[in-house]
């Protein structure tokens, strides 16, 4: 397939059946969003936010694009800006992986770091301050309707098309901005009402399950950190506030169940996917898959379950995901050499 430019290759990611570690009586699938050109699901929203801003006149030629992110949206925006010719500045917590910072800078963006313990709110506030001061375009992924809209227009349609002949019993996703969940849920609720929609969040940062509403400014932005948030290792998931984009799913009961997951379980299942299936996904993907496995182990026979894998493991090399992966030869490898 020939594309006229890189951005035309965003979307249409594959659905892959799990064949080795799924329960024998269950059809478990993953949607591998790391097949997007920037390596994550956030390529979709990055492209749509910029495209819509161009159409609306909110983004002018050569204007700087700025955004707060834990990494994947920043990589997506840096990629889109490089392709379209916009300067790009990213603010992000310094707890995000080193690979993410380097990828954004590799793509030509400038990266400004905020203290990790202060959560996403600190990066958000810094981006807003710089945007206001310099008249830069602030992407505002957490409030921007173009975020969920692109998943309604593309991701959800891809899922419906892939499962139109066999049906989909469960759809499982975590949330970062909430765009994937809200956008896809709009469509599945309407066109696949029998599908159970399962959302997940870190067990030590249960913002939805706390039943505590998020305090917001008049523009929908967070006014402070949510009291139920704690730092967690699932990068890209659950900032320290409930995004306005996600609030749609909460207000409209778009999810049937919220199943929390631990970072340790996410790391375990990411490793299992890699070593048993050859699927390389990050901690968020492993966490979503952990929840999908819980569903699979209690679902009726022959159920069809789809799990979202947001990104690739390669941007977690410096994170706890790779703590037990050696860069030097281990004893087993040395023994193979010594046997020659």
Query: What distance in Å separates the CA atoms of residue 102 and residue 108, rounded to the nearest whole number?
Result: 10
Question: DSSP per residue over 107-155, as a string?
Answer: TT-EEEEE-GGGHHHHHHHHHHHHHHHHT-EE--TTT-HHHHHHIIIII
Instruction: Give counts: helices (H), strands (E), the chain.
Output: 11, 10
Has 133 been annotated as catalytic? no
Exactly one of 40, 182, 284, 303 is catalytic; name it.
Answer: 284
Bridge partners of 309?
32
Structure tokens at 174: 């975590």
Query: Out of 31, 40, 42, 303, which one is annotated catalytic?
Result: 42
42 is known as an active-site residue = yes
Identify which of 282, 295, 253 has the alpha carbon closest to the alpha carbon of residue 176: 282
DSSP labels, 218-273: TTS-BSS--TT----S-TTS--SS--HHHHHHHHTT--SEE--B-HHHHHHHHHHI
Q: Which residues are catalytic?
A: 42, 284
């Amino acid at each position: 397939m020939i594309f006229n430019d890189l951005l035309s290759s965003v979307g249409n990611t594959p659905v892959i059946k799990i064949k080795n570690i799924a329960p024998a009586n269950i059809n478990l699938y993953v949607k591998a969003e790391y097949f997007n050109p920037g390596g994550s699901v956030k390529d979709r929203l990055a492209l749509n936010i910029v495209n819509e801003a161009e159409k609306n006149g909110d983004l002018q030629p050569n204007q700087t694009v700025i955004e707060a992110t834990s990494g994947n949206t920043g990589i997506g925006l840096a990629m889109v800006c490089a392709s379209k010719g916009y300067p790009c500045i990213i603010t992000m917590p310094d707890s995000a992986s080193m690979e993410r910072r380097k990828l954004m800078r590799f793509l030509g963006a400038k990266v400004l770091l905020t203290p990790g313990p202060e959560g996403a709110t600190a990066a958000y506030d810094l981006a807003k301050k710089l945007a206001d001061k310099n008249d830069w375009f602030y992407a505002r992924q957490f409030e921007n309707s173009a975020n969920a809209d692109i998943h309604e227009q593309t991701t959800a349609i891809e899922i419906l098309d892939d499962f139109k002949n066999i049906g989909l019993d469960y759809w499982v996703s975590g949330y970062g901005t909430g765009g994937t969940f809200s956008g896809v849920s709009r469509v599945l609720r309407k066109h696949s009402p029998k599908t159970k929609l399962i959302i997940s969040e870190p067990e030590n940062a249960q913002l939805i399950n706390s039943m505590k509403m998020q305090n917001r400014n008049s523009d929908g932005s967070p006014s402070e950190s949510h009291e139920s948030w704690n730092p967690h290792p699932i990068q890209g998931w659950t900032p320290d506030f409930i995004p306005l984009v996600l609030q749609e799913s909460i207000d409209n009961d778009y999810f049937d169940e919220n199943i929390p997951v631990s970072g340790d379980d996410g790391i375990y299942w990411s490793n299992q996917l890699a070593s048993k299936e050859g699927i390389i996904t990050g901690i968020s993907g492993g966490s979503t898959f952990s929840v999908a496995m819980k569903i699979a182990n209690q679902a009726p026979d022959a159920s069809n379950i789809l799990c979202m894998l947001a990104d690739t493991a390669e941007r977690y090399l410096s994170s706890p995901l790779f703590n037990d992966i050696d860069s030097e030869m281990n004893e087993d490898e040395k023994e193979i050499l010594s046997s020659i």
